[in-house]
Structures are given as C-alpha cells and as structure tokens.
Amino acid sequence: MRIDLHCHSTASDGTLTPAELVAAGARAGLDVMAITDHDTTGGWVAAAAARPAGLRLVRGAELSCRWYDADPPIALHLLAYLFDPAEPRLAADLTRMRTDREQRAERIVELLRADGVPISWPEVSGYAAGGSVGRPHIAQALIRAGLVATTNEAFASQWLGARYFVPKSDLDVFEAVRAVRAAGGVPVFAHPRATRRGRVVPDRLIEELAAAGLFGLEADHEDHSPAEREEVRALADRLGLVVTGSSDFHGTHKTVRLGAFRTAPEAYEKIVAAATGVPVLG
C-alpha cells in the first residue's frame, strides 16, 4: 500500500487544485493520500468530490505553530488528520489564522510596491484561487515580473526571506495539540528535525508534547538527512509515537514527487483508529 500523508493544493500554497491533486495522486500510484493545506480545510470539498475510485482520501491540515518558551520562539508545523472542522475551538483558530495570513500577504505586497516592484494584490490573491493566500503566491508574481526565476530564489534574503519578511501569528503548539485532539483529530509533528529550514526544537519539547497528546512524528521527509530520519525514528520509538513519511508535495513549487516518501500501512491504520472527527473517504 502506497501512502502519502502530506500534500498541498491551491487551497494554500500548492500549484494543483484539490481536484488536480487527487487525480495526480492516483496517477502516481498512491492508495492513500492526505490533503494538508496550511491552516485551512478549504480544499476538502473539492478533493472529496473529485476523488478517483480506489484512492482513499485523508482530510487534514498543516497548522502553523510556535513554541513560545524558547527565546526567540521557534516556529514548527503540526499535521492534523481527520478532525471535525466544525469543532468550535479549532474552527475559530483556523479562521483567525487564515485572516492573519491574508493580512500578512497584503502587507508584503504593499512593501514591495512601495519599492517599485510591479506586482499587485489582485494578481497575488488571484493565484490563490480563493484559497489561503501565502508567500508562494507572492513568489509567483515575482517570477511573472521577471525578478526571480524560482520560488526558492523568491524566498532568499533579498526578497521574501528577510528584506520583505513580515511575521505571522502562530498557534501555541500545546494549544494546537489539545485543539486537534478535542476535534477528534490526530496530531503529528511535521519534519521535526529539518535543520536546513532553521532552528529545531529539543527532544524535551517533543517529550512534553507526547504527554499532551501528540500522536506521531514525520521522519521520512526530503528536508531530513538520513541521520535525522534515524534520530526521529529512535525518538518516536522511545516515546511510543507513530512514525510517518510523506512527500510534502507542493506541485511545481518544489521538485519532490508525490509518494517520494511514504507512511507504513501499520502507522496509517493506527492514525485512522485513533481519529473520531471525520472518516477516511474511500
């Protein structure tokens, strides 16, 4: 069974629509795939409606979180699977974060335009196609304007990485774990050892999160070295957490392919068994 539990669509910062995403998953030979857009469930309905026969769809989201006990606080991502999107606490968090992401993107566009960069808010928001607007959509506008060649170049320090960087508000990671659990969902720490992305949290935080309800750790990911993957597996084994693997697919924003990294069937079954929010489709 081929299982990929971390995929993005145009509902956040992927380049395939939800319908195109599930079709691509089927073509890639996946048996199970998750739609996990950033801080939104906006792609769920379209993905479910377009789901090809034989493909199981896990509905989820990737939550932007922060560990506020560090100085400065450390950003991290929490994959939330099979939660009830109508649960008031988590629904309110997602609404607030989507609003914040849009306001942040508008502010970045304002800063760029003030320096004479020929992009506009209607163009950037149009790339999101009604989904959650983020920096990759601004990167698309910079590419169209001929100022950068790739999304990675747009995220460099002279552009969105530093000069035109605007911070966003994130969920406290402990509150996020509790909110996902309260909504019947299953929380898994995304790429916890991705040192190439910046600072990572110490093991003691993961230990505390496990005690608070964290269910798993994503080990097999393109941003983990082989040594880092083994570190995550050993930590998960010590704490009794499930281990997942996934592509973190974003379409043309990244070179990784669907199914490049996968989750073992036994880990997937444990996630499904632990969820009480919404069922797997298919």
My answer on whether omega of the bond before 72 falls inside 30° of 0, hence cis, is yes
Please give the Cα distance from 59 to 210 (Å, whole number).
Answer: 22
Domains of the chain: 3-95+168-274 (3.20.20.140), 100-161 (1.10.150.650)
pLDDT digits (tens, 9 = 90+) for 162-207: 999 998 889 999 999 999 999 999 999 999 999 888 899 999 999 9
Q: How confident is the model at residue 127 (pLDDT cuts 50, 70, 90)?
A: confident
Q: How does the average pLDDT of the chain come out, rounded?
A: 95
pLDDT at 136 over 90: no
Angle formed at CA 173 by CA 168 and CA 175, multiple of 5 degrees:
105
Strand stretches in 11-110, DSSP E: 32-35, 56-67, 74-81
Query: Is pLDDT larger for residue 100 or for residue 48?
Result: 48
Choose the weakest-confidence range: 30-39, 60-69, 96-105, 226-235: 96-105
Residue 210, helix vs strand vs coil: helix
Instruction: Report DSSP letters for 139-199, one per residue.
Output: HHHHHHTTS-SSHHHHTSIIIIITTT------EEHHHHHHHHHHTT-EEEE-STT-GGGS-
Q: How confident is the model at residue 156 (pLDDT cuts 50, 70, 90)?
A: very high
Within the chain, how many helices (H) and strands (E) appear?
10, 8
Kindly give the interhelix angle for 88-114 and 121-128, rounded to the nearest 10 degrees.
140
**Residues paired with 62 in a beta bridge:** 38, 79
Please give the Cα distance from 239 to 196 (Å, whole number).
Answer: 25
Task: Give the per-residue pLDDT at 129.
Answer: 76
Regarding beta strands 74-81 and 32-35, do their DSSP bridges make them parallel or antiparallel, or are they unpaired?
Answer: unpaired
Task: Name the DSSP class of 38.
Answer: B
